[in-house]
Structure formats: C-alpha cells, structure tokens
Amino acid sequence: MTEVQTPIIPIVGDLVRSTPGTISLGQGVVAYGPPKEAIDALAGVTDDLKTHLYGAVEGTSALRLALAAKLRAENGIVVDDATRVVVTSGGNMAFFNAVLAVADVGDEIILQTPYYFNHEMAIGMAGCKAVLVETDAAYQLRIDAIAKAITPRTRAVVTVSPNNPTGAVYPEKALREVNELCRARGVWHVHDEAYEYFTYGDVRPFSPGSIAGSAGHTISLFSFSKAYGFAGWRIGYMVIPAALEEAVRKIQDTNLICPTMIAQAAALGALKAGASYCKAKLRGMAEVREVARRAFAEISTFCAAPVTDGAFYFFLRIDRPLAPLALVERLVKEFKVAAIPGTAFGIDQGCSLRVAFGALEKDTAAEGIGRLVRGLKAIAKE
C-alpha cells in the first residue's frame, strides 16, 4: 500500500477548505442531483422488510432487467447467455472487480496515459503492474504502441471513452482495432463508459461490447454517478462474459455482499427518467466548455489545451519548468482557484493540470476559469 499513490482529490480538497473563497475546478462531479423519478422511486421502499436485508450479490433482478434493456437500446450490447450484468457500488468497484477477476499478482494491465488515477491505484492494490502507453497530442489512442506493450504477462487493455481526465472520445474504428487486438492476442478489453452521455456536437461514443463476437473477451463498465447526479448513491454496473460470473460473484460477495437496496431502487427510478435527463443538462456544460476554450486560447503561447469532444475536462500542458503540485498550491493560495496536478494521472514529464468544469454553475465556472488563466499568466511571467 505504501507504493500506491495517495488519492489527489482529498489533498486538493484540503487546500481548498483551508483557503476560503477558492473556486474548485478539481473534482469530476456534476452540479445537479438525481432526477425526480429517482426520488419518487423511494416512496415506501423503507417499509419493505427486504430493503433492510441482504440482497442478491449481483443486484436486484428488476434493476438488472432494466439495465439489460438500456444496454440493448442505447449501447447495442445484448445481454444473453454469453454475458451477465452485475450491479456494483459505483464504477470504481466495477473496475476493481474486473482486475481481481482476470489478473494474478505480477500480471500486467495496459493503461493509456493520461490515465484515471483510481484505475492505476486499483491495479497496484491487486499486486499487478500498470503498463503505461502514451496517447497522442490530441489524447487519442496509439494502436501500434498498445500492440507493442502486450507481453506474455498482459491480462487486459483498458480504454476509457469519453475519457477522464482528457475528455477525448475514441472513434469507433480505433476501439474496434483495440478490441480485435485483444481478441487476437488473448487478453481482455476493459472499456469504461462512465461518461457515455457527455459528448458534444455530433460526436457519439461507441461501445466495444456491441461488436459481434466480442462478448467472450470484453468487459464494459458503466456508472450512474455522473449522468444522474448519483455520486453519493454509489451505483455502477458491469457487463461481463459469462465465464467470469463465478469470479466476480466471489469478489463482490467478499468486498460488498450486495449493492445497497435503497440505492438500487433509486437507480431503477433514474432509468425511467432516461438519458434525456442528462442531455438536458449538457447544454449548460457546452456553454461553459466554450467559455473555457476561449479563455485558454488567450494563453496558447505557453499552454496547450486540446479541445476534446466529451466529459467535462480540459487537460492542460504548460510549457514552463513548474512542479505541478506546487503550481496547484500557488493557484489556490494566490488566486483562489484549484485544479488537479497532471502527475496524478501518470504524466511525470513537464507540467500539466486537469481542469474540471462540470461541478459548477455557468457563472461560477466562468469566474474560476478566469482566475485560473490570470494565475497562469502571472506565474508564467516569473
């Protein structure tokens, strides 16, 4: 455990709390809460004795059936005899389940950099090795580099699209190539779709689990946390090959026993609201994204801010010899704005920051982005 990185969100959170008036562009959450349908679904739930008892390890049958219908309609993933849906306590648990189910101590799992830090941490906690493959300047996949990184100890290739921390959305062609590479080389393709509804313009995400013949080697991960403002309810889910069902049940029964019955009832209600609930909120995020794009253009001489097509992040590359965490500390103390240092996402060369704009209303986000740009301008001149 001493070799696992310390979670960066609490560290930056402590900095923010110690500096009143700071606007945080740090944690990747949304500014809205669950839909009314989720709250309404809780009526009478606590009167049912079964709510207070252990439920099925894999989640309630009602929720899994509803998820199977959603997966078929929205993702093109068919849940049949070859696959299983397992409800988890958030997307992080789904990923940890996958790692423990497919890898032994010392095995390798390929991550794309910048990576989502909790993925790298989970791999380390499982006694495995994260093998890092750089994405390109626009944070897109480099298929040849992934292929070269596969060794006899490789057990899985992980892709996240829309991406945390970069916002990149991987094209269908690239994800098909990764999925076929995994099939041909006998490794698992673990694909995280937590931000599936957060795309802009005409861009749409693609689910590798929908590829014909992919069911036997593909693990698809999803979450309610972002789309439905459900972060505190802790509901995610995974689609796994039937061959992994026994392993995942062992893992989840040991770590969790079952997802909370109350949260599952709320999730069933959220599905009634559907994707339109999130998409209605996306219009406001798109406006903030444009405000950020214009602001970062002002500092393009020393700060690269690739405009990506998904999630609610910018991943900045700053052409100055600055230590990322020290930069974050100065931004908080001197300019009252917080971001996350790129080192948390596996970027050890140069200076980079992740900027999240989903957790704030438009005016507050715009003010925070303005503070960030003013701070970077001032510090870059030194």
Find the domain containing 84 and state its range.
Answer: 36-273
Confidence at residue 27, expressed as pLDDT on a 0 to 100 scale: 87
Biggest CA pair distance of the chain = 65
> Does residue 1 sit within a domain?
no
Is 90 exceeded by the pLDDT of residue 89? yes
Statement to judge: residues 112 and 170 lie in one domain = yes
Confidence at residue 37, expressed as pLDDT on a 0 to 100 scale: 98
Global pTM reads: 0.96
- Name the burial class of residue 45, with classes exposed (0-12), middle (13-18) and buried (19+) by CB atoms within 10 angstroms of its CB: middle
CATH code for position 62: 3.40.640.10
Confidence at residue 68, expressed as pLDDT on a 0 to 100 scale: 98
pLDDT tens digits, one per residue of 127-144: 999 999 999 999 999 999
pLDDT tens digits, one per residue of 339-351: 999 999 999 999 9
Q: For 280-286, what is the mean pLDDT?
A: 94
What residue type is 41 in one-letter code?
A
Confidence at residue 86, expressed as pLDDT on a 0 to 100 scale: 98
Q: Give the E-state strand segments of 274-312 in sequence order.
A: 303-304
How many CB atoms neighbour CB 359 within 10 A? 20
Confidence at residue 212, expressed as pLDDT on a 0 to 100 scale: 97
pLDDT tens digits, one per residue of 67-80: 999 999 999 999 99
Q: For 148-153, what is the mean pLDDT?
A: 98
Statement to judge: residues 28 and 41 lie in one domain = no
Statement to judge: residues 24 and 44 lie in one domain = no
CATH code for position 343: 3.90.1150.10
Average pLDDT across the chain, whole number: 97
Q: For 226-244, what is the mean pLDDT?
A: 97
Statement to judge: residues 162 and 234 lie in one domain = yes
Among 240, 273, 306, the domain boundary falls at: 273
pLDDT tens digits, one per residue of 155-199: 999 999 999 999 999 999 999 999 999 999 999 999 999 999 999
Is 90 exceeded by the pLDDT of residue 153? yes
DSSP single-letter state for residue 5: P
Which whole-number Å values give the CA distances from 275 to 46, 76, 162, 270, 360, in the listed order?
27, 15, 15, 9, 21
> Does residue 3 sit within a domain?
no
Is 90 exceeded by the pLDDT of residue 302? yes
Name the residue among 350, 373, 354, 370 with its Cα closest to residue 362.
370
Is 90 exceeded by the pLDDT of residue 270? yes
Evaluate whether 189 touches 177 at the Cβ level (below 8 Å).
no
Statement to judge: residues 215 and 313 lie in one domain = no
Which percentage of the chain shows pLDDT scores above 70? 100
As for how many domains the chain has, the answer is: 2
DSSP3 helix / strand / coil % (the chain, rounded to 5): 45, 15, 40
Evaluate whether 50 touches 282 at the Cβ level (below 8 Å).
no
Evaluate whether 97 touches 88 at the Cβ level (below 8 Å).
yes
Statement to judge: residues 12 and 78 lie in one domain = no
Statement to judge: residues 112 and 253 lie in one domain = yes
pLDDT tens digits, one per residue of 308-339: 999 999 999 999 999 999 999 999 999 999 99
Among 273, 308, 332, the domain boundary falls at: 273
Tokens, residue 199: 């795309």
pLDDT tens digits, one per residue of 111-122: 999 999 999 999
